[in-house]
Amino acid sequence: MENSYRKGEIIELTVIDPAEKDQCFGRTETGMGVMVKGMLAPGDRVSARIFKVRQRYLEATALEVIEPSLDRVEPICSVFGTCGGCKWMHVSYDAQLRYKKKKVEDSLVHIGGFENPDVLPVLAAPEQFHYRNKVEFSCSNMRYLLQNEMGSEELLKPKHFALGFHAPGNFEKVLDLDTCYLAKPCMNQVLNLVRDFALSRGLVPYAAKAHDGYLRNLMLRYSERHDQLMVNMVTSWYDRALMDALKEHLESAMPSQKMTILNNVTTRNNTVATGEQEYVVSGEGFVTERLGSLDFRISANSFFQTNTRQAETLYDQILAVAGLGQDDTVYDLYCGTGTITLYLAQHYRQALGIEVVESSIRDAEMNAARNGLSNAVFFHADLKDFHSMRDALSPYDAPRVIVTDPPRAGMHPKALETMLKLEPERIVYVSCNPANLARDGKEICAKGYRLTSVQPVDMFPQTNHIETVACFERG
């Protein structure tokens, strides 16, 4: 098809599929494909201005929704479209589940080369809002101004202080928030209390470009089953008197809330919410969460699934497809604080967990002892160097099943290669990125495995993210 479109031209198109970030894919009446920017929904009929003409498709920015999709709903958040978190809050939940299933199918077909993969319907989350048990807020000396504030001489909030989320694509500016509709209500209460405390004390927010300022991040964790709240302040230096004052401020405002307060201190030139040193201001310095019949200790910087209720659903799916017998051994790669490892250890003779983050391994070992599971063994190792662990693993039986739950980037090629050399009968691949599941799945199947089941689990309502449990069997 000859591309006769021109940059700057205004076109009309129908949105077909959601894409990454704030983009969707659509087609014009002539059939030309268009990647269009904007908070759109499949089924929307829109006008858009072309900003790039490629040989086979166009890139455009949406101007107006001419005819809204039947899947559209009214977002409940006043900063939807500005905050980059809830990209699908304008889409009905039933439609979100349909699109997420299609996203997994399309990745397996177009990236992995799988023909007609049997992807099961997405397991819906019981809570569509306020489901996150961990939220990280950032502090900045540059508040992101909303559209209605541009040019205004009187601002409702200070211009040089913000506590909330980074504006999309901007590491300096932060969108000041009063409420996040994914966070637990008690988290939003702490967010506003910390902001009030910081402003009343004149605390200097961190300036990313200049690399100065005191207050960097507010990281919150919540244990749903034990009603415990962790407040972790990330600052550039330690001030015990100030932290004690913050403790009094929070505890007086939330007297019935079980709470532990920490102060992570870092001098690094970045905006990451972790510290080089950690001080416990009050409480135990960790929270304990329950999954099934197990309790897990979670430190400030340890990984834990951010949706507690759906984590149980996810782990039950892993258990169901693992298909192990009571005398079998299972390996859990990227085990974090050992949640999957211990979930499996209840049912099998031995479970081995491997993880690169040392604090997570300490938590995993304490979690095993806490739950009386002596058949769970943990190794601190970088999975890129997994092959160097052969001697350490030699006393244990070879795994019949390997469960791998890698980060969003997928498995490192060397880790994938070594896992395949272990030749388990079954590989259960847990993925938060369908594209990398498809990429790694293609490599797994090239080594004599076949894809036998794919079960998406919606851990992240209102977003375009989807967790998937895929099973590969040898031969």
Mean pLDDT by 10 residues, the chain (475 residues): 83 92 90 93 96 93 96 94 88 96 96 95 97 96 85 81 89 93 97 97 93 95 96 97 98 97 93 88 94 90 89 96 89 92 94 89 91 94 76 86 92 90 94 95 96 97 96 94
Please tell me the predicted confidence (pLDDT) of residue 2.
60
List strand residue ranges (DSSP E) for 208-257, in order. Answer: 215-223, 228-235
The rounded radius of gyration (Å) of the Cα atoms in the chain is: 24
* Kind plus residue range of the DSSP H or E element containing 364: helix 358-370
State how far the Cα of 384 lies from the Cα of 417, in Å rounded to an integer.
Answer: 10
Edge-to-edge strands, sheet with 215-223: 174-176, 162-166, 134-140, 215-223, 228-235, 258-265, 277-282
186 an active-site residue? no
Tokens (6 digits) for 121: 């319907």
State how far the Cα of 458 lies from the Cα of 95, in Å rounded to an integer.
Answer: 12
Task: Collapse the DSSP code of 223 into the 3-class scheme (helix H, G, I; strand E, B; otherwise coil) and give the result.
Answer: strand
Please tell me the predicted confidence (pLDDT) of residue 390.
74
With beta carbons less than 8 A apart as the criterion, state whether 441 and 470 touch. Answer: yes
Please tell me the predicted confidence (pLDDT) of residue 208.
86
State how far the Cα of 62 lies from the Cα of 450, in Å rounded to an integer.
Answer: 42
The phi, psi pair for 293, rounded to 5°, reads -105, 10
> Could you identify the residue written with the tokens 């958040």?
77
Please tell me the predicted confidence (pLDDT) of residue 297.
85
Tokens (6 digits) for 331: 């390996």
> Burial, 74: exposed, middle or buried (Cβ in 10 Å; 0-12, 13-18, 19+)?
exposed
Is 0.85 topped by the overall pTM? yes
Tokens (6 digits) for 303: 């990984």
Give all domains of the chain, ordered by start, each with its CATH number. Answer: 10-67 (2.40.50.140), 134-291 (2.40.50.1070), 296-474 (3.40.50.150)
What does the pLDDT look like over 326-372, one tens digit per residue? 889 999 999 988 999 999 999 999 999 999 888 888 889 999 999 99
State how far the Cα of 350 lies from the Cα of 352, in Å rounded to an integer.
Answer: 7
State how far the Cα of 312 lies from the Cα of 426, in Å rounded to an integer.
Answer: 21
With beta carbons less than 8 A apart as the criterion, state whether 473 and 426 touch. Answer: yes
Please tell me the predicted confidence (pLDDT) of residue 185.
97
With beta carbons less than 8 A apart as the criterion, state whether 43 and 50 touch. Answer: no
State how far the Cα of 325 lies from the Cα of 327, in Å rounded to an integer.
Answer: 5
- Active-site position among 83, 432, 445, 471: 432
